[in-house]
Amino acid sequence: MNYSVYISEKLGYNYNYLATIFSEVKGITIQQFIIIHKIEKAKELLFYDELSLTEIAHRLHYSSVAHLSSQFKKVTGLSPSFYKHLKDKRAGVLQNL
């Protein structure tokens, strides 16, 4: 089920109406809001290093790792693997302090 149908059914309002109000209040679309929050969750999962990128993509309902990677880069400016590399590098520096 896509998000627009899910949100409309759960709240009992037309999606276009909800989207208009949401955009006026938050300044971004519902879709942008969802993407930003999914990427924040992906960053958290990458940080804790418990799941592979494939598992993260599946858990966050992405159609593929490529789709997750593309959205991750659009939101953060970094690829997921580079983000993970930076996290690992920071952890190494902190351990040496």
Domain 3-95, CATH among 1.20.80.10, 3.40.50.10490, 1.10.3720.10, 1.10.10.60: 1.10.10.60
Tokens for 21? 């109000």
- CA distances, 52 to each of 27, 29, 39 (Å): 33, 29, 15
Scan for tokens 């930076």, then name that residue: 86
Q: How far apart are CA 70 and CA 90, in angstroms?
A: 24
What does pTM read for this prediction? 0.80
- Using one digit for the tens of pLDDT, what is the confidence trace for 43-95? 999 988 789 999 999 999 999 999 999 999 999 999 999 998 887 776 554 45
- Using one digit for the tens of pLDDT, what is the confidence trace for 22-46? 999 999 999 999 999 999 999 999 9
Q: What residues does each domain of the chain span? A: 3-95
